[in-house]
Copies of this chain bind each other. A is one copy, B any other.
Amino acid sequence: MDAFEFHNPVKIVFGRGKVNSTGKHINGMAKKVLLCFGKSSAKKSGTLEKVTSSLNEHGISWIELSDIKSNPLLSKVREGIELAETNSIEAVVAVGGGSVMDTAKAVAAGTVIKRGDIWDCFLGKTEIASALPVITVPTLAASGSEMNGFMVITDEENNLKLAAGSPHVYPAVSILDPELTFSVPADYTAYGGVDAICHLLEPFFNGSWPDTPVQDRITYGLIRAIADATERCLANPYDYNARANLMWGATLALNGLTKTGVGEHFFPVHMIEHSISAIFDVPHGAGLAALLPGWMEWFASSGHDSRVAELGVNIYGIAKEGNAAENAWSTVKQFANWLTSIGCPNDLKSLSITEKDHAAISENAMVQAGIWGIQEYSVDVVMDILARCQRWD
């Protein structure tokens, strides 16, 4: 096990109807907040009204930052920063999915930035030194943003979707109310499950495997629990416990726990997907689903079939004794079939992406690889991966 530091100070308030306690948990922290939300669903579902009622109840006023879109934009972050500065905002509240939470974090950090620009933090030119308190009320089980210090924003002018992280943007409080996800449609429910599972798979595969059964076994357990909960949610969107397990599972999938001590690692599938959704604006989870089987096949065939096989042994009960290459292949196939079974794409073709697009995607990915100093993923490697992801059958 490698050395690590783990410090996750987010307070989680979990349960049915907890959305109505939002104001109570902000009370004492801020009297005036920036309220961030998306284009329509938080309004239509009534969630936004529950939050504002609760803010009213506790005498907390708000300014709205609305119409935040999926694959959220830097221009919207800048709009939020200006609103926050002009109105002497004391905290930022996110009501929505990962896009809204990530926008709220970027605004919270950007508002108090002393020198330079918030985008410099994404470009790796400067570090986030502080941030306004962030409070999240997630309406989608997927990103894990509600319990971590990461955010992903798209610079639309340069087609660049980048991630940044800082301990300062950990939410102070996250209100996890599974009922808020009852209205999530089937496709986004499934994409959310895949996003969460991908958050577990990336450190599992891309660490250096330094003998970490504790982390590995938590990973297996969470993958199984999230996969099962996703299926239950699709079968019955109003199954509270299914929604609750998907929500808590997705939160734990990227709260840092399963990343501890597994060695330096990054998120190549996320990197390539960010390029895809920066260019084609596809839903993040759909992009991940389209990449995962092909990427896993590439990864197994690059000398790592025993690691892929290990996953299959532990989550699918594949016989340990078998040949590693065969077991790896069987693992990838089962995973690809599972994606189909929950209505997700499992190749790029399903997203109407063609071979002609691969060069642009690879080139875009290289910008990210450059910022993070990732050398393993050259243009040729990404082109090879994309070729394997193009068609799965």
Contacts and interface: CB of A to CB of B under 8 A. Distances in A.
A228 B241 contact: no
Nearest to A228: B213
B11 A7 contact: yes
A249 B4 contact: no
A214 B141 CA distance: 14
A14 B8 contact: no
Interface string A207-224: 000111110111011101
A374 interface: no
Contacts of A13: 5
A257 B251 CA distance: 12
Nearest to A13: B5
A67 interface: no
A210 B14 CA distance: 14
B6 A14 contact: yes
Contact of A221 (B4, B7, B218, B244): B218
Interface string A1-23: 11111111111111110100000
Given A5-B13, A260-B248, A241 B210 contact: yes
A252 interface: yes
B5 A11 contact: yes
Given A2-B15, A11-B5, A12-B6, A213 B261 contact: no
Pairs A-B, 10 closest by C-beta atoms: A3-B15, A217-B221, A211-B241, A7-B11, A1-B244, A6-B12, A221-B221, A9-B9, A214-B225, A213-B225
18 contacts: A1-B178, A1-B245, A3-B14, A4-B12, A4-B14, A4-B15, A5-B14, A6-B14, A8-B8, A9-B9, A12-B260, A211-B241, A214-B221, A218-B218, A218-B221, A220-B221, A252-B257, A257-B257
Given A213-B229, A248-B260, 18 more contacts: A1-B240, A3-B14, A5-B11, A5-B12, A5-B14, A7-B9, A7-B11, A7-B12, A9-B9, A211-B244, A211-B245, A212-B245, A213-B225, A214-B225, A214-B248, A214-B249, A248-B261, A257-B257
